[in-house]
Amino acid sequence: MISTIAAVLDNRRTVIELARRDFRARYAGSVLGLTWSVLEPMVQFGLYFVVFSSFLGMRFVTASGVNMTGFYLVGGLIPYLALQEMLVRAAGLVRGSAQLIRHVVIPVEVLLAGALLAVLVRYAIAFGLALGVAVAMGALAWTQLPWLLVAVVLLVVGAWGLSLLLVPLGAFLPDVVQVVGTAMMALFFLTPVVYPETQLPASVARWLVVNPLVGLLDAFRTTLTGQSVSLVRVAVTLAAVIVFAVVGSLVFSRRAAALRDLA
């Protein structure tokens, strides 16, 4: 982990440039250009809110009786979708950047950092919009803001560790991208991302504590909804993040040298 982070820091300008190009390429050729980075999440999460709140009748009501469904949905969807996209990008990095890896002398972890940073920036814009709306509505839980920092650290470190594991796996096994996408789709329905926990049977809800995604989403949501955070759940998330970081670093360090031959 230390060696990969050192490589990223030594090449931080390259990382930023790669992320900038990745970010701009997503909207290249469109009339509105980078404006889509704001419009896209607004439309996407607006549709989620209408469908789940108005059509399906789902409600997340706080202890004060205030309906926080919109913030609950956004607070869960943004970090989940960010994690999903980062892991899929990591799994397909070597095969998708084969020409660059083969002909340019640049550490693979630097390419990975650039790709993940581009994803993080897009979803940070989306979450920033949600925070802005919460401030405008007077709904932001200011006392819970430190949890947002905890959540971001857990997301970044956990995604980095898993990505270090997936990069060599995706290079050796071409089906890893599909496996990761399918697994994340399954986790989407096994985790209270768009539905409140109260809708789960008690026999199912008690197992949520062992799902590391639950503590992560709770830490993100608390700033927007004011809901309490379970320290046990966050501890489970932290433990999982540490395991991902250690295992991912070990696997990557042992297989990094062979990645250029596979590209």
pLDDT of 86-123, one tens digit each? 999 999 988 887 777 777 778 888 999 999 999 999 89
**Look-up: residue for tokens 């509105």?**
32
Phi-psi map region of 29: left, alpha, beta (phi>0 left; psi -120 to 50 alpha): left
Per-residue confidence (pLDDT) for residue 60, from 0 to 100:
59
Nearest-angstrom CA–CA distance, 244 and 250: 10
Higher pLDDT, 195 or 159: 159
10-19, 29-38, 135-144: which range is least confident on average? 29-38
Rounded mean pLDDT of 148-170? Answer: 95
Going from N- to C-terminal start, the domains of the chain cover 2-262
Q: Using one digit for the tens of pLDDT, what is the confidence trace for 116-129?
A: 999 999 899 889 98
Tens of pLDDT, residues 31-47: 666 676 777 777 777 77
User: How confident is the model over 171-178, as a mean pLDDT?
Assistant: 88
Are 111 and 14 in contact by the 8 Å Cβ rule? The answer is no
In contact, 75 and 225? CB cutoff 8 Å: yes
Task: Work out the pLDDT band at 66, boundaries 50, 70, 90.
Answer: very low
CA 74/CA 194 separation, integer angstroms: 9
Task: Please write down the HEC assignment for all residues of 31-73.
Answer: CCHHHHHHHHHHHHHHHHHHHHHHHCCCCCECCCCCECHHHHH
Reported as a pLDDT band with limits 50, 70 and 90, residue 261 is: low
Closest CA to 252 of 113, 81, 100, 150: 113
Residue partners of 161: CB distance under 8 A and separation at least 6: 1, 241, 243, 244, 245, 246, 247, 248, 249
What tokens appear for 140 in the block?
Answer: 């932001």
Q: Indicate whether 48 pLDDT > 80.
A: no
